[in-house]
Amino acid sequence: MTVEPRFFDARDGVRLAWREMGEGAPILLLHGLFSNAEVNWIKFGTAARVAEAGYRVIMPDLRVHGASEAPQEPEHYPPDVLVHDLQDLVAHLGLADFDLGGFSLGARTSVRGVVGGLRPRRLILGGMGLAGLAGWAKRGDFFRRVIADYESAKRGDDTWMSIQFMKTMKIDRVAARLLLDSFTDTTPDMLAALTMPTLVVCGDQDQDNGSAGELVSALPDARLATIPGTHMSSVTRPELGEAIAAFLVA
């Protein structure tokens, strides 16, 4: 299923896209790095499952991704720019009472949004562990190598699969490199801001962002749902949508 994008202008004039499915209480779902709303949430049925549970599923294409613009000027990438975009979308849609979640980069951005003042009723963190929030430097260095090795990597290199995904998704490398530099860490003491009920959902073979169990232990009100898959494959599993829907309707 393809859901046509809608557009709005962020505070710096960059045109950003979002997609919607379903009716009811709003939930914003943010996709992972180099992905988009269509691939992360719609293609494999996750958004449809959440919508069936009675929700208006709102799925932005993050800056540099999908149908959103990817400017190449550094001034469009201040620290936490994705949080600014999230705040602008919430304001554009006039949302006062909503749930929020994301996968990988989307989970990091959701956490940064709460630290920055957003107050969703509930929070969903997919494909995320404690190290993925507090230790971005190491993960960021890997993705900088992905961009640097874009033309030279060979099959079997640790960057190969990420590069192929970037190529498939037609990611602008200049813009992506600037976006990586805008990400900031969430230190363990900042997690005290996450007072709302939180679902941490992670593949049973996914350690890309550290331990999901450690993240649950560090949060005031969190539960863990383990689903089949790796960091890449767990988003394709029906269990992802089932876990999110079950958490929302509990």
Predicted local confidence at residue 2, as pLDDT: 74
pLDDT for the residue numbered 221: 97
Quote the tokens at residue 12: 């710096």
Domains of the chain: 6-135+185-249 (3.40.50.1820)
Within the chain, which residues score under 70 in pLDDT? none
Give the pLDDT confidence score for residue 104 in this predicted structure: 97
Model pLDDT for residues 180-206, shown as the tens digit of each residue: 999 999 998 999 999 999 999 999 999
Integer Cα distance of 213 and 5 in angstroms:
35
User: 243 phi and psi, to 5 degrees?
Assistant: -65, -40
pLDDT recorded at residue 125: 98
pLDDT at 17: 98
Indicate the pTM of the whole model. 0.97
Closest residue by Cα to residue 109 from 85, 129, 144, 143: 85
C-beta separation of 111 from 132 below 8 A: no
